[in-house]
A and B are shown apart, each in its own frame.
Chain A
Amino acid sequence: MDLLNINNLRIEFPSRHGTVVAVDDVTLKVQPGEVLGVVGESGAGKSTIGNAVIGLLEPPGEMTGGHVFLKSKQIDTLGAEAKRKIRGRRIGMIFQDPLTSLDPLQTIEQQLVETIELHLKLGEKKSQERAVDLLRQVGIPDPETRIKNYPHQFSGGMRQRVVIALALCAEPEVIIADEPTTALDVSIQAQILDLMRRLCREKQVGMIIITHDMGVIADITDRVAVMYHGKLVEEGTTAKILGNPDHPYTQSLISAVPRPDIRLKRFPMVNYIEAESVRPRHIDLATHWLGKSRDFEDVSGPLLSLKNLVMTFVTRHSIIKSRRKTFNAVDDVSFDIAEGEVFGLVGESGSGKSTVARMVCSLYKPAAGEVNFAGTDLTKIASESERDHFRRQMQMIFQDPFSSLNGRMKVMDIIAEPIRFHKLARTNREVEQIVTDLLDHVGLGAKAAVRFPHEFSGGQRQRISIARALATRPRFLICDEPTSALDVSIQAQILNLLKDLQEQLGLTMLFISHDLPVIRQMCDRVGVMKQGKLVEVAATEDLFEKPQAAYTRELLDLMPRLDKLSHEGLEVEKA
């Protein structure tokens, strides 16, 4: 007898443009004490499965086929009240964002006790004892006092522990966790996964983990179901799916995962999901527009040299100077980047790496220090028109593909804006030619020019961003987490594109990421940042093989272990 049995599930979302089948004929089974991973990229329909099982599918979503059995008893046909009694009591749910999952106006005791009293009918005193006990089980120190606190008094990781405690209140038989660690930092992610795995074994709970993250899958699951466009393409033990996948989608998905242990030349087989509309052509700088009139100063030393850079933010405003509170987001950072080099900057959120990038391109004015670019200290430039000369040479690619393009402008105008501003073309006709050519080079094709950003997917938008950055014919490119908002296969495509362009155009790059495996694929040298300070700078391979600083070793230890993943078709680059 299966603990939970989802049979031929079909979920539809009727809309103005026709019915969208979010989940199509999906069958899943979970046994007690087992962790089943449901993996897929955005739009695969994986989250709606969880909502359908507990009867909280949001309208207009509708379950139009299939059955759900809990210990052989069919539950999808139950009435609203009977379904409610199953929720929390027999099937628990954990959501993605611990910051918004708790009622901010109630103490966690009130929330725990309410749930316990409801399901277990224990009475107040017993319920309180159980609440404290639950908090202890999920690893909250000093639970007797902390239970009186409000959610805002806990950190993100601690709140997710509270959420897990709430899900466990009534000893449910099944727990469905929807991206439970996506909103957390890597170090906390590992702890929460350990906790969930331990509780699952101890209490013999059947768990479904819905995630996009192969690291989470490799870390915690026993079996994996791979979803693609609402369909279940492959299911099996974790070792089998990761090590020897059968379906071409699974193969391409796994080959697109950046490996922490090897450096690839390119990502192979990544066109399964979103094929490029045109194959990017090779750019020959001798004849191409991008190579024309590169009237840049020759540099003898490094192209970019940061000296003792400091950035201060005021955290408490006050008229009285002594009462003002400030903190240094970037504290005494110095490094050089040679021409043609890709320099990586890595660190956890809040480490100051993006602030460095924003100072380099003059979005922020440093509190102290120098930004020397091609021999000129950019912080000393007073006039805007003089600065324009350097702006042309230095462009930036941003993180969020949905906010980095102005939704009110056509792609043509978005890419033409820098060309027109820096007067890089004489006629409108020439501008249009350059734009269509750039679109070809980033794999979108000329037809993209007449459309608006919202008509493109995240990966395609990131290609538009890259085309816009190239439009000033820069020699230096800053990439600020350019793929962290993208699905893994799209990420592989964009990283391939950036690699190709870097080689063909001889670009110098500052590549910022929180993701060490990505850094390993992209960078020649790496700087590690922690709380505004640069703790280590080393050649990439040296950093991964022989880390010097304690913090670097800590970060490397926290990387997901992906050694179970198939190496099929990968071409390793020798250092």
Chain B
Amino acid sequence: MAEQTVLTKPAIQVENLDLYYGQKQALYDVSMDVEVNTVTALIGPSGCGKSTFLRTLNRMNDLIPGVQIKGTIRLHGESIYDRNIDVEMLRKQVGMVFQAPNPFPKSIYDNIAYGPRIHGIRNKKTLDEIVEKSLRQAALWDEVKDRLRDRATGLSGGQQQRLCIARALAVEPEIVLMDEPTSALDPISTSKIEELLQELKNKYTIVIVTHNMQQAARVSDKTAFFLNGELIEYNDTATLFSNPANKKTEDYITGRFG
């Protein structure tokens, strides 16, 4: 029983989050908890604020001038927007994979080793181990192990995206945020990454933005539906898709708009 409590303790607690781009409000009073070792999907039509919300969780929005935030976000109880938070250390704990694969124009090895290196790991053997482990976790090792010195930009799109996942895992984050990670990929690469998510959730907590409702239904344990900057409904994926509580959610998942 005790173990159960630890597992379901929320990794992220969001309370009354408002976000403004300059004068324009993009998120309205969002509150939700993300459970440890789950895949949480954020769905909703374009421009509904799901990506914006995702980027508040590792403070990537800080890079955009004019963004203002109200409310609190706690990571294992610690408020991440406090004045004395080291944003770099926060981002090391909350990794991110982006919509389009974005490998560095460096070798496959150097792509993976970049993160560990900036966080102070210099030892060649340790780096080798991290590179292998990360690539194995991203199910890419067998495809690239003989060409680690080749340029990462020469890989296929699907391979590049798995490389980006491996690169994010190489700094050993607790949480991995994914912003439509398969939207630029073909169906086969997409299913590989979806399979991968099931593996990864044993070790990481995953929050994934997707515009594809079937994908949300396939891969996630919990789903949050956003509309016009508001969190409309948040529930177990099975419940949300089979028995939505809100009329707007029902309209969206049955394809009446969006």
Co-complex (A, B): no
